[in-house]
Amino acid sequence: MARAAETDLRQTFFSRQLEEHARVFFFSLGKLWQNPVGTLLTALVIGITLALPAGLHALISNVDKLSYSWEGAAQSSLFLKDSVSAQRGQDLAREIASRPGVAHTNYISRDQALAEFRKLSGFGEALDILDNNPLPAVITVTPMHKQSREQINVLVKDLSQLPEVDMAKLDQKWLERLYGIIEFLQRAVMVVAVLLSVAVIVTVANTIRLDIQARREEIVVMKLIGAPNSFIRRPFLYTGLWYGFSGSLVALLFVSVGLAALTAPVQNLAGLYDSNFTLSGLSFAAVLEVFAAGIMLGWLGAFLTVSRQLSKIEPR
């Protein structure tokens, strides 16, 4: 009987708490709805603040995706010895293509290399005076995607030790520089996000502080009748939560509009380089992160200012 009574008491307690939170949840939303101009202005300030790191994150994600599509250009060129025949060069290219971590290979004979050089360099007449073809045969090796730099370096080192290979060169320096720039930008976005998070907290805290001052007499009466600080604090915390949620919506709207405005110029630029690259919006996970950040910062700003202000308001 005692256990059953205790269980019923717990269920009643949790049920009352749930009802109270639901009541305050919609009560705080109604209070904001009654002041649409002030709510909209606060949401706009928070949205603009959150939109900057979110937009930068979206742009960096697109650059990262673009660099992934360029990984195919990170080829290794295997310069073969002059003694290697064309047939052996073709066979070697097929053998290398069957290796783990190799996407595909391409064999370029000495005659093909000379013809390509003649076409691109513009020194055709100068090449005619040469008795022999000075260019070696080449096998271009394209590593598979999603391989680390260490794996690619090990692959190139192994290929350079083949008896038919005179020298191996990895055309990846420019891609490594791009990765370095992306890593720097990611760190910079994190720093900007932290600084702007403080701005969101200050914005919400100042707005809630003004709301508390406007309801000062009401708070004094509630304290006179014995209401605990947790009860008085709860509506303001939900108000901060709503501010963070609405600000996140505004931020996502700004980011979507910004990316839409950049879509056509980016497609035109990509077309000049014979690429079908298009801008992508924020991923589902990134959208959830924006909402989570906005709600958490709004709640934190409200909690800090409510805790401080309630300690100053005491009935006389």
CB neighbourhood size of 143 (10 A)? 21
State yes or no: pLDDT of 272 exceeds 80: no
**Residue-averaged pLDDT of the chain:** 80
As given in the structure block, the two tokens for residue 13 are 């307690």
Return the pLDDT at 292: 93
**Residue range 236-248, pLDDT digits in tens:** 888 989 999 999 9
Strands (E), 109-186: 138-143, 165-170
Domain 75-171 in CATH 3.30.70.3040? The answer is yes
Per-domain boundaries in the chain: 25-69+177-310, 75-171
Distance from C-alpha of 258 to C-alpha of 281, rounded to nearest angstrom: 10
Instruction: Give, for 103, the enclosing helix (H) or strand (E).
Output: strand 102-108
Return the pLDDT at 291: 93
- Work out the pLDDT band at 129, boundaries 50, 70, 90: low
294, 43 contact by CB (below 8 A): no
State yes or no: pLDDT of 88 exceeds 80: yes
